[in-house]
């Protein structure tokens, strides 16, 4: 745990809204962007064609360096600003152009990098229900984590809250169309890992969906 504190950037933490103040309020989406949420604008995206309906949610994990949490390395990667010299493991990835729509950090804070209405570069070579190039029609959410370290409860809360809002906004993302990266690129990818508690997530998601329906 000492690594977490050491690497935490207090400056940016101060900017993050405190989710605990409004734990059940729906996240609102306007023009493809979450409102009242930190935005960091990645250039690593492609335009979606108007006919490309969003019908898939892909859940990932990421940590930089692997197994270390906190700090701004993930954001730096998605912004193309990761410094190869900052860690021995960064040399191979500093030049990679990847992104996700959102990151949910260990403290539950959410950062959005790419408009949901555009394609983030998160899935790579991938296939869902016989259709390849999942970036074209999916939204990618990264959890700060690894395949074998339990995720924080607040991450499940925020992921389910975010998912419910996305389903409200993009109704073709049905429950069957929420998958892990491991499901659409099974030879290459293992995230979000066996540690990810799918039943817990789906139970929370059902609760958030009920809240949204009740509040209509």
Active site (catalytic) residues: 142
Pattern 130-169, Zn ion, x by CB under 5 A: ----------------------------------------
Binding window for Zn ion (CB under 5 A); candidates: 23-31, 100-108, 157-165, 188-196:
188-196
Helices (H), 55-173: 73-78, 153-169
The DSSP letter of residue 125 is S
CA 82 to chain centre: 18
CA 154 to chain centre: 14
Instruction: Please work out the total of residues on this chain that contact Zn ion, with binding judged by CB under 5 A.
Output: 3
Between helix 153-169 and helix 198-215 the angle, nearest 10°, is 50
Binding window for Zn ion (CB under 5 A); candidates: 36-44, 95-103, 104-112, 176-184:
176-184
What is the C-alpha to C-alpha distance for residues 171 and 168, in angstroms, rounded to an integer?
A: 6
Min CB(23)–Zn ion separation in Å? 27
Among 181, 201, 205, 208, binds Zn ion (CB under 5 A): 181
**Phi and psi for 144 in degrees, rounded to 5?**
-70, 110
- Under the binding rule (CB under 5 A), the answer on residue 191 touching Zn ion is yes
Min CB(69)–Zn ion separation in Å? 17
């Amino acid at each position: 745990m000492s690594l977490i504190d050491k690497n935490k950037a207090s400056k940016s933490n101060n900017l993050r809204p405190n989710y605990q103040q409004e734990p059940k309020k729906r996240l609102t989406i306007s023009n493809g962007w979450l409102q009242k949420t930190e935005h960091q604008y990645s250039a690593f995206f492609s335009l979606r064609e108007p006919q490309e309906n969003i019908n898939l949610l892909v859940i990932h994990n990421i940590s930089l360096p692997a197994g270390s949490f906190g700090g701004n390395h993930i954001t730096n990667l998605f912004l193309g600003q990761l410094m190869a010299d900052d860690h021995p493991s960064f040399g191979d990835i500093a030049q990679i152009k990847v992104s996700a729509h959102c990151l949910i950090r260990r403290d539950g804070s959410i950062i959005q990098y790419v408009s949901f209405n555009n394609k983030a570069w998160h899935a790579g070579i991938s296939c869902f229900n016989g259709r390849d190039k999942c970036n074209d029609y999916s939204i990618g959410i990264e959890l700060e984590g690894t395949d074998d370290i339990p995720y924080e409860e607040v991450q499940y809360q925020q992921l389910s809250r975010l998912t419910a809002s996305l389903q409200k906004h993009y109704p073709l993302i049905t429950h069957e169309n929420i998958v892990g990266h491991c499901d659409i690129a099974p030879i290459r990818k293992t995230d979000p890992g066996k540690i990810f508690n799918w039943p817990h997530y789906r139970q929370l998601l059902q609760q958030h969906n009920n809240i949204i329906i009740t509040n209509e």
